[in-house]
């Protein structure tokens, strides 16, 4: 996988003459992002010495979520937060992973995000995070 500079990417966007060309650009780069996310997740699984199954159980992941690790599906922000909780990442690793997946970083000024940051720092599971969010009047992670 070849990495393009920001200038090259901006040039490609500027050169897109119509919606079809812009759509093609977005499709091509979505694949790059999913590939990068897949490789980063594989690296984190190895670093943390965890299996996908352990991460999915600890994060409270169900359904298609194994596809996240295979790079076949782009996870929503909340699903990725479940992966973060399952991997027991620190806040810097969590923010980097969210940005890599093109999601908004956790913002401590946002009350729900502040609760999630606290849960990440406390190494809480997905289930415990949902309970804390509910107790404080916030929607659980999807």
Rounded CA separation 121/118 (Å): 5
Q: Which two tokens stand for residue 65?
A: 């979520």
Q: Residue 31: what pLDDT?
A: 52
pTM: 0.77
Q: Are 84 and 120 in contact (CB under 8 A)?
A: yes
> Is the predicted pLDDT of residue 48 greater than 80, yes or no?
yes
> Is the predicted pLDDT of residue 109 greater than 90, yes or no?
yes
Q: What is the mean pLDDT of the chain?
A: 85
Radius of gyration for the alpha carbons in the chain, expressed in angstroms and rounded: 17
> Is the predicted pLDDT of residue 134 greater than 70, yes or no?
yes
63 band by pLDDT with thresholds 50, 70 and 90 = confident
What 3 state SS string does 50-103 have? CCHHHHHHHHCCCHHHHHHHHCCCCCCHHHHHHHHHHHCCCHHHHHHHHHHCCC
């Amino acid at each position: 996988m070849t990495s393009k500079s920001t200038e090259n990417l901006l040039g490609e966007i500027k050169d897109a003459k119509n919606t079809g060309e812009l759509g093609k650009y977005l499709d091509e780069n979505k694949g790059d992002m999913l590939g990068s996310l897949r490789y980063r997740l594989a690296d984190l699984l190895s670093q943390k010495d965890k299996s996908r199954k352990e991460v999915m159980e600890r994060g409270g992941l169900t359904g298609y979520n194994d596809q996240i690790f295979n790079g076949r599906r782009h996870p929503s922000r909340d699903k990725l937060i479940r992966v973060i909780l399952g991997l027991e990442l620190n806040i810097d690793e969590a923010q980097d992973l969210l940005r890599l997946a093109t999601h908004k970083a956790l913002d401590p000024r946002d009350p729900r995000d502040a609760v999630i940051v606290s849960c990440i720092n406390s190494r809480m599971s997905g289930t415990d995070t949902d309970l804390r969010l509910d107790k404080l009047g916030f929607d659980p992670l999807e």
